[in-house]
Structure 1
Amino acid sequence: MQRFGTLSFGHYGPLGGGRELTAGDSLRQAIDLAQGMDDLGAVGAYFRVHHFARQQASPMPLLAAIAATTKNIEIGTGVIDMRYENPLYLAEEAAAVDLISDGRLALGVSRGSPETVVRGYEAFGYTGSQDPRGADIAREHFDTFLRAIEGEGLAERDPNSPFGGGNGKQRIEPHSPGLRSRIWWGAGTTETAEWAGRMGVNLMSSTLLTEADGTPFDILQARQLDAFRAAWREAGHPGEPRTSVSRSVFPITTAEDELYFGGSNDQDGIGYIDGMRSTFGKTYAAAPDVLVEQLMQDAAVMSADTLMLTIPSQLGVEFNLRIVESFAKYVAPALGWKSGALQPR
């Protein structure tokens, strides 16, 4: 494990007792959390994207704010639903954020996860899908997006334009030359992971896998990572791709931690997503030395170079910073993470 960061689902709404976390609260807390994490060194802040739900829906303004107020932290998404995206507009926004951050954007995209609405992407104007889950639209949008960030000319220049014009085709602007190497595809199946490897993009292995044959989640996921890397090599792509997995990991160092996370489920879960029998990863909650032993036995955590810690959105910035700091001090170094001295908060 070379890197770790937080994966926020960005939930907001009633908290009970007359309290409420508003959309504005959620956004501002995300910025504050990222700024606090920036002091910890080589960590990242990643955000889930969901439409028609009380979660982060348009991540680029948030990522731009974080990019402008941090120096080291990797920022990204896990993942943007490509069924809902105008690929050229997304390419422009992604390039702008990448330039603001000096190349710290790790943009995760995919077909998307189950929604709270029926074919919501059609309400955004993206119709004509022949797939019940819109996978064909997502792949089509992704292909155009990749061509755009690679700098391919996509619109015919107007030779009569008073604003530059010329002949040939014009690429989108702004253009960030290194962005293509920092695009990730979120995969929930081995087949999709292999496709991502052939495409030459990095892999974000999902928080669940639409496979359930009794094999432990971490083994299924490690096999997925291996298949992805094999497909990458067979396609002849240069260098080594990056891979990430996400886990719920809570170092218990205080009575408050024990209150919230003691007795958490420590078994894989089995359920149905999009009509498919799926496997969900377990929660890790224990004293730091126990966590180290447990995570070192997690085949996928030890195989991936990046670990995303799913954090509870409703417990506030200070609580989550303490979770991250405890992980950075007591757990991450034993898993392979190296960083400079932690800065005091």
Structure 2
Amino acid sequence: MTHTDDFLPSGSPNVLETGKVGYSAPSNIALVKYWGKTSGQLPANPSISFTLQHCQTRTWLEFHKQALGTVSFDLFFEGKPKDSFRPKIQTFLERILPYQPFLNDYHLAIHTENTFPHSSGIASSASGMAALSACLMALEQQLYPDVNEAYFRTKASFLARLGSGSACRSLYGNPVVWGRHADVPGSSDLFGVTLPFELHPVFKNYQDTILLVDKGEKTVSSTAGHNLMHGHPYAERRFQQAHENLSELLKALETGDLDKFIAITESEALTLHAMMMTSMPYFILMKPNTLAILDRIWSFRRETGIPVCFTLDAGANVHVLYPENVRKAVLQLITGELVAYCEKGQYICDEVGDGMKPL
């Protein structure tokens, strides 16, 4: 079993005065949802996600050696200083200092941009923290050349979790499990892992079209929502249910059972929002247009037999999931009907992807 101490650097680092590294990392969408966490950004239940391909954050990290003795950084989003991002990055860098103490010896210039509009309503914390963590590991690898690829990726996932829990699932290709689970050897609450079996071909090029129902700021942050699972009347049963659903979904992903995949994925999406609606205080992040889309997807599936389904994140937007071989028919549904429920008719076509990449 891996422990946090396994991520402490050992030995003397190389002398490195200045440099620049860059990585991209994608967003991801959970199929079995993580909702509720314990101290140290650890999940209350395991989750599994599809890594996306096109919705990415690209980050470049410039570093200059300075005897500062404290975290020092400048942050630029799409070429301009972004003060509103600073508190979260400050907290993240301070949180990972025990695992990368050399950060106190460098001034960092972080340049980041998204391939999707920041105000689109797609969460960028997962892709952003994953890309930054990969850059920080690239710096560590220059200081400690013995860092191999497996350790690089695992520690990048470990670090990313300390910035945004779901970010630990954005470092790998599909699918990624985060959280200890009896059916996934090597699974851990500390970082994400890939599946222990070959994914069925039907899922290897799965499509995800994201319908942008509401691009506004969420009324309740994910952090606040997670905290409301403490003392939630249905929390313990929900955590148990996530383990059960993950076991069943793993079977579906291995065998290509689309009916089981659809049933579990949609149930998980609705359960996530049921937890929000039954917390205290309670809240609803879905919008009327969200429900209209879900209803139309159900009726379309009944009418045509086409295996299209939905999932939701902690917001109003709808992820429409379907195999590539029915792409034409599903896009006709989206462009012909569902865009009417999207803010300004906007949607993003994506598909499953490969995780982080060097720039």
With the length of structure 2 as denominator, give the TM-score of the two structures: 0.27
With the length of structure 1 as denominator, give the TM-score of the two structures: 0.28
Query: Greater RCO between the two (CA within 8 Å, min separation 6)?
Result: 2
